[in-house]
Chains A and B, each alone.
Chain A
Amino acid sequence: MTSTPIHVFYKSVLTLTVFIVLICSTKNSAAFGLDEIYSPNVEYREFSVEFMGAQSFDPNADKSGAQVGQVTLEAGLTPRFKLGVSAVYAKEAGKDMQLEAHEIEGLYQFVESGEYWLDAGMLVAYDFSNQSYSPDSIESKLLLQKDVGKYTSTANIGFTQNVGKFSDHTGGPNYTFLWNTRYRYNVFFQPGIEIQSDLGQGHQLNNFNEQEHYIGPAVYGKLFGHLKYQAAYLVGVSNAAARSAARLLIEYEMHF
Chain B
Amino acid sequence: MKSLSFYSLIVTASLLLSISAYADEYIITLKNNAFSPKELVVPAGHKIKIIVKNQDATPVEFESSDFNREKLIGANSEVSIFIGPLEAGRYTYFNDFHLETTGAIFAK
Contacts and interface: CB of A to CB of B under 8 A. Distances in A.
Interface of A: 43-46, 110-118, 120, 142, 144, 147, 149-150, 152, 157, 159, 172-173, 175, 184-187, 190, 202, 205, 226, 255
Contacts of A144: 14
B72 A43 contact: yes
B90 to A, nearest CB: 13
A172 B59 contact: no
B45 to A, nearest CB: 12
A149 B61 contact: no
Nearest to A140: B7
A123 to B, nearest CB: 13
Contacts of A46: 72
Contact of A43 (B10, B15, B70): B70
26 contacts: A44-B71, A45-B72, A110-B15, A110-B18, A111-B18, A112-B80, A113-B69, A113-B82, A115-B20, A115-B22, A115-B82, A116-B18, A118-B17, A120-B18, A142-B11, A144-B14, A147-B67, A147-B68, A157-B7, A157-B10, A159-B3, A172-B3, A173-B3, A184-B66, A186-B65, A190-B65
Given A112-B82, A120-B15, A186-B65, A149 B87 contact: yes
A255 B14 contact: no
A contacts with B: majority SS:
loop
Given A45-B74, A144-B14, A175 B68 contact: no
Interface of B: 3, 7, 10-11, 14-15, 17-20, 22, 47, 59, 61, 63, 65-72, 74, 80-84, 87, 96
A175 B11 CA distance: 15
Contact of B7 (A112, A150, A159): A159
Nearest to B87: A149
A113 B83 CA distance: 9
A44 B68 CA distance: 16
